[in-house]
Amino acid sequence: MTTISVALGARSYDVRIEPGLLARAGEVLAPLSRGRPMPIVTDTNLAAHCETLVASLAAAGVSAPVLTLPAGESTKSWAQLEALTDWLLAQGVVRSDHVIALGGGVIGDLVGFATSILKRGCNFVQIPTTLLAQVDSSVGGKTAINSKAGKNLIGAFHQPAVVLIDPQVLDTLPQRELRAGYAEVAKYGLIDDAGFFAWCEGNAAALFAGDPQARAHAIGHSVAAKARIVAADERETTGTRALLNLGHTFGHALEAETGFSDKLLHGEAVAAGMALAFAFSAEQGLCPAEDAARVAAHLRAVGLPDGLAAAGVTADGATLVGHMLHDKKMEGSTLPFLLARAIGRTYLDKTVDLEKVAAFLDGQTA
């Protein structure tokens, strides 16, 4: 078992990573239950994993009522938040209880937010089941639902009590979802760890083939990176946590252009966005062209989009920049961008000229 602690003073918690952990979750979680039930919230694609979890809790003497919500992004809604909080209240949940989120980022974000407001805040446990949730969304305490005005606009910071990661649950995850989550793994290397990016280049094939060691290393390294960044800047006030948004401003424009639909998954948009951030940095003379080419080549090698064309986006620069202006990271009239000096050396630039960005994007589609 690898244990990584997220050091946040009174809100500190452990992330435990171990193949087969889901079947042993009961013994790990029983001390937290203190004789009380632990309600599980999951989605319709996770029935088999949920059975494993319920059986493990039962064997440890913990009863676990289950609420199964529809799979998909549309579950991060006011309607499902209401359904979930009504159900938790009907279960008689009190503030010291722990609610389990078993699923990807959708279930984790929804349950995290619901428990941040239920009885003015109760506890929750993350058991992430997608690669994206294991390496990114389950750690760090950002929780949210979507509103008509945009994604993740209604939410709270609410840290889990513990995160349990079983890399084996990824065996049932569709390859496309695995690839999309992998974009966030490679991101940690590109942000500030060139050595890890080189590891990714050498080991991605093994990871995709299901090699348990490659998966455990990628997850452990990513979680440790996220834990370090979150501990330094829990609420994204100093700029450190903003580094995690590498590729996300360009990516957000691509997601908006494709209607936040299955045409382009979040991780796919982030992959294309990271390639664009490096290409733009190279064009501006900030970063060696070889580094931008290396980023694009690795993303292509694992089957992720490496730019606008591969992401299936044909919109012009002005349209895409228009989408960026709706981004919640807008600060007055400037939009902070994460740019690169090299692989593993990214920084937040608040002086980027949006006309240059539009011209660069026009050059990409020409």
Q: How many C-alpha atoms does 262 have within 13 Å on its Cβ side?
A: 5
Q: Does 304 bind ligand NAD (CB under 6 A)?
A: no
Dihedral of the CA atoms 352, 355, 358, 362 (nearest 10)? -130
Active site residue 142: yes
Catalytic entry in 45, 49, 123, 184: 184
**Which tokens go with 329?**
């990271």
Q: Are 48 and 172 in contact (CB under 8 A)?
A: yes
The rounded distance, in Å, linking the Cα atoms of 323 and 305 is 19
Site for ligand NAD in 72-101 (CB under 6 A): 72-73, 76
- x/- site string to ligand NAD, residues 114 to 133, per CB under 6 A? ---------------xx-xx
The rounded distance, in Å, linking the Cα atoms of 327 and 313 is 18
**Alpha carbon separation from 4 to 7, 118, 129, 205 (Å, rounded):** 9, 28, 18, 25
Active site residue 152: no
Catalytic entry in 142, 158, 179, 221: 142
| DSSP H stretches of helix in 193-288 | 194-208, 212-232, 248-257, 266-283
In our burial notation (b when 16+ CB lie closer than 10 A, e otherwise), range 81-101 reads: beebbebbeeeebeeebbbbb
Residues near 148 by beta carbon (within 8 Å), at least 6 away in sequence: none
Instruction: Candidates 102-110, 207-215, 308-316, 352-360: pick the segment binding ligand NAD (CB under 6 A).
Output: 102-110
Site for ligand NAD in 135-174 (CB under 6 A): 136-137, 140, 142, 151-152, 169, 172-173
Residues near 310 by beta carbon (within 8 Å), at least 6 away in sequence: 272, 300
Active site residue 49: no
| Chain residue whose CB lies nearest ligand NAD | 105
How many residues in the shown chain lie near ligand NAD by CB under 6 A? 28
Least spacing, CB of residue 173 vs ligand NAD, in Å = 4
Q: Does 277 bind ligand NAD (CB under 6 A)?
A: no
Q: Does 215 bind ligand NAD (CB under 6 A)?
A: no
Q: Does 63 bind ligand NAD (CB under 6 A)?
A: no
Q: Does 43 bind ligand NAD (CB under 6 A)?
A: yes
For ligand NAD, give the closer residue by CB, 129 or 281: 129
Please state, as a whole number, how many other Cβ atoms lie within 10 Å of the Cβ of residue 332.
6
Q: Does 255 bind ligand NAD (CB under 6 A)?
A: no
Least spacing, CB of residue 68 vs ligand NAD, in Å = 10
Q: Which residues are catalytic?
A: 120, 142, 184, 226, 236, 241, 245, 248, 252, 266
Residues found near ligand NAD in the complex (CB under 6 A) = 43, 45-46, 71-73, 76, 103-107, 109, 129-130, 132-133, 136-137, 140, 142, 151-152, 169, 172-173, 177, 266
